[in-house]
Chains A and B, each alone.
Chain A
């Protein structure tokens, strides 16, 4: 089944403890991206990747890192999480921006930083 898989679904951690949220897609998509969703602010893009080894900042990249070593995986890394990073996170993929294709979203990761 074609899908975007995010893990974990729920994560509670403490300030400063490094964490990684994984994202994997099995559709051979070139484009992958990360978003956070907050009440009143809606969805905002954190980072995106147009292809392997190509990443770029979105609107709210501060405090996050990403890597794209292989096409299927696009992990989101929080080196030193802070409470203001408590949010609902989504990963998404699409064949490529040139194709103007629909986005495929993961199920989301609800992160709480205390």
Chain B
């Protein structure tokens, strides 16, 4: 079964802490997205990965294809990083469908000042 699991479900951190959010999936993928959703509800795409590592500012995303695992790291966390972070995966073979995205349930991050 094609599944996406995120952990932790909830995360509270103090400002300045290093944060890691994990995403595991069950079978081979062609792409993995990390998304951010602020309390207002809008969704922003942070990264799209098919291999390796990407960095944007204080955010770093990595993917290990062999272990079927991706991590999103936030360095020097800030209260404005408080949001829900969502992993989304496009599986290589999802019933013959190339365009379907499967989402994790999200990680709710709260960064306290």
The answer to whether B101 and A90 touch across the interface, beta carbons within 8 angstroms, is no
Q: A103-B33, A108-B41, A108-B42 are in contact. Are A56 and B50 (CB under 8 A)?
A: no
Q: Is the CB of A100 within 8 A of B31?
A: yes
Of A21-29, A38-46, A64-72, the one with at least 4 CB within 8 A of chain B: A38-46
Chain A residues bordering chain B, tally (CB within 8 A): 27
Q: Are A42 and B101 closer than 8 Å at their CB atoms?
A: no
Give the shortest distance, in Å, between A8 (CB) and chain B (any CB).
Answer: 14
**Does any Cβ of A come within 8 Å of B112's Cβ?**
no
> Which residues of B92-110 are within 8 A (CB) of A?
97-106
Q: Which residue of the partner chain A has the closest CB to B49? A: A100
Residues of A with C-beta under 8 A to B30:
97, 100
Residue A74 CB within 8 A of the other chain? no
Tell me, yes or no, whether B88 is within 8 Å of chain A by CB.
Answer: yes
**Is A42 a contact partner of B45 (Cβ separation < 8 A)?**
no
Separation of A31 and B105 alpha carbons in the complex (Å): 23
Nearest CB of A to B94, in Å: 9
Complex Cα distance, B105 from A49, in Å, reads 24
Residues of A within 8 A of B42 (CB): 105, 107-108
Q: Is the contact region of chain B dominated by helix, strand, or loop, or is it mixed?
A: strand
Q: Please state if A97 and B41 are interface contacts (CB–CB under 8 Å).
A: no
Contacts of A101 in B (CB 8 A): 48
Minimum C-beta distance from A68 to chain B (A):
12
The chain A residue sitting closest to B105, CB to CB, is A42
Let me know if B90 and A97 touch, CB within 8 A.
yes
Residue of B nearest to A50 (CB): B99
In contact, B97 and A42 (Cβ under 8 angstroms)? no
Contact check, A43 vs B103: say whether CB atoms are below 8 A apart: yes
Are A56 and B43 closer than 8 Å at their CB atoms?
A: no
User: Which residues of B are found within 8 Å of A44, using beta-carbon distances?
Assistant: 103
- In the complex, the chain A residue whose C-beta lies closest to that of B6 is A42
A102 on interface, CB distance cutoff 8 Å: yes
**Contact indicator A90/B102 (Cβ below 8 Å):** no
Which B residues are closer than 8 A to A by beta carbons? 30-31, 33, 35, 41-45, 47-48, 50, 86, 88, 90, 97-106
Contacts A31-B99, A92-B43 aside, 4 further interface pairs with beta carbons under 8 A come to A35-B103, A58-B100, A103-B88, A107-B42
